[in-house]
Amino acid sequence: MKNILLILAYEGTHFYGWQNNGEGPSVEGVLKEKLSKIFPDPFKLQAASRTDRGVHAAQQCVHFLADELPDSLLYRLNRLLPPSIRILECKLMPHSFHSTLDVKSKIYTYSITNGPWQSPFERHFAWHVPQILNLNAMQEAADHLIGEHDFTSFCNKRKDHLYKSHQRRLIELTITQKRDCITLQLQANGFLYKMARNLVGTLVDVGRGKLPSETLPSILETRDRRRAGVSAPAHGLTLSEVLYEE
């Protein structure tokens, strides 16, 4: 059997997340359906990240086992897939490679339109926050979150998400602004359910003046989701990059 890696991008607007959970159309469901037209034998898809409903991906990594890697797989698959999903690359990997278990870290990007009006071209990809935000306070708050912590305060509960530990190492959380576009880049060795969106929502509350930046350490310590801020809308979040060991 060949271990085949697909690197894909998708617009998550009309999908109920990556995972095929029966609630609605999923990226996994569509991809598996189209792959089955090329690979008739049963197979299982393993993805680097379970992106939620409405979340986008610029680089999702998925692997599966098949008898062979057709030379025309990239072309054939992109012809079958809807325009909202595109395969960027496909290649053979060692049998030991696992797209989920071998992840070193993931990078998510969150986009905010910060101004009185939002362009209709941005409405599916950025959260519209019309109030003026204090970026210095937001970055100061973000700096308190860097490092290894228990991120229970930033994790929503869900029956099918059972974690052995809520410890995660947040490697980077930077905030930049270009005109009316604010971008938050988050890198961690793993993310809990809605962790990225809850971090962003809390930082926006800091930027609005609803939360002092110095309260972030105590919010972490309480391990109480109610102490953190709102959950940012899904459509502003993009899985930007998945990093593996060399």
Q: For residue 133, count other CB atoms closer than 10 A to its CB.
A: 21
Q: What is the pTM of this model?
A: 0.94
* 52 noted as active-site residue: yes
- The 10s digit of each residue's pLDDT in 145-198 is 999 999 999 999 876 667 788 999 999 999 999 999 999 999 999 999 999 999
Q: Which of 41, 52, 205, 224 is catalytic?
A: 52
Please, what are the domains in the chain?
2-93 (3.30.70.580), 103-244 (3.30.70.660)
80 within 8 A of 70, measured Cβ to Cβ: no
- The 10s digit of each residue's pLDDT in 14-66 is 999 999 888 899 999 999 999 999 998 888 999 999 999 999 999 999 999 99
CA distance 20 to 147: 33
CA distance 88 to 150: 35
Beta-bridged to residue 219, according to DSSP, are none
